[in-house]
Amino acid sequence: MSPAERERRIFSGALKDEKPNIKRIIDPSELTDQIFSMEGQDIQKLSDEIRDKILWGVYNDYGTLLKVSEMRDVEHLDDSDENAQSFKTFYLKGLREEPSAFGSSYDIESKKTPEEMKALLRESHVVGVKYSFATPSGNQKENLVGMGALKRGEGVQSHIANLGKVYVHPAHRKRWLAHNIVTHLLDKALEDGIEQVHLVVTASNVFAIEFYKKLGFIPGKMHYKAVKIEDEYYDWLHMELSMHDYKPEQTKK
């Protein structure tokens, strides 16, 4: 691991158990080039205090600041060209690295046109978490690091919504992003008068099952060999939440 990567990962909370000597930390109050020197213990304390809005610096081997990053809040993704492209890129990344987390495959989704991606964003309430960063040259960029979608049923099933496409980039996990995404979508369901929220989760994903149970979802029937991706079968566990039992104030971080 290079010094630059070590710098980034320590401040973003990925290497909590390591004891760095002195690291440069970006002022969390605003996006500036002001830099502080801190001991490792102070870094961890600051990281915990601003876990939902962490800013960090990436440095090269010579200690030169390469970029500053800021984590954004959960936001709705409309059907703009930029969002459609950003969503497709991140969706395909998830399908390539963890195909069992989705009910589709990389080969299928990679062939979809920009217009088909825009249609998906229109048909569902899709949200994302982005991180934005600025390079020393002043270029501004942003990428998705988390997403989720809520799709309402039609006709006689309009009282039901399906929750899916919940995915967080591996480097940004254990920072409450999935929790914030899902509760944001559940709040939307409550606001829209949805009575039930359904989802399916890969049966072997014990962590995800426990995560949803803590939010009030109840495990239901098992669907064996529900999907087949690259000659491998995956079982699905169906789960559902009655919105009458959903207590927003009790699920917040």
Structure tokens at 145: 């690091």
pLDDT above 70 for 88: yes
pLDDT in tens, 116-132: 999 999 999 999 988 77
Instruction: Please tell me the pTM assigned to this model.
Output: 0.71
Please, which pLDDT band fits residue 235 given cuts at 50, 70 and 90? very high
Structure tokens at 202: 């890969």
Residue 16 sits in which domain range? 3-63
Q: How many domains does the chain have?
A: 2
Residue 225: which CATH number?
Answer: 3.40.630.30
**pLDDT at residue 39, as a whole number:** 37
Q: What DSSP state is assigned to residue 175?
A: S
Same domain, 94 and 35: no
Same domain, 27 and 81: no
Same domain, 112 and 230: yes
Same domain, 23 and 108: no
| Mean pLDDT estimate for the chain | 76
Structure tokens at 15: 């290497």
**pLDDT at residue 78, as a whole number:** 95
The C-alpha atoms of residue 47 and residue 11 are separated, in whole angstroms, by: 7
Same domain, 28 and 90: no
The C-alpha atoms of residue 161 and residue 166 are separated, in whole angstroms, by: 14
pLDDT above 60 for 87: yes
pLDDT in tens, 170-206: 877 877 889 999 999 999 999 999 999 999 999 999 9
Same domain, 162 and 232: yes
Using N-to-C axis directions, what is the helix angle for 206-214 and 177-191, rounded to 10°?
50
Same domain, 101 and 44: no
**pLDDT at residue 16, as a whole number:** 38
pLDDT in tens, 215-226: 999 999 999 999
**pLDDT at residue 28, as a whole number:** 36
Using N-to-C axis directions, what is the helix angle for 81-97 and 114-123, rounded to 10°?
90
**pLDDT at residue 213, as a whole number:** 95
Same domain, 123 and 166: yes
Same domain, 26 and 79: no
Same domain, 12 and 116: no
Contact 139, 154 (CB under 8 A): no
Same domain, 101 and 135: yes
Same domain, 105 and 14: no
pLDDT in tens, 42-75: 444 444 444 444 444 555 556 555 555 556 688 9
Percent of the chain with pLDDT over 90: 51
pLDDT in tens, 125-152: 999 988 776 555 666 677 888 999 999 9
Choosing from 11, 28, 63, the residue where a domain stops is 63
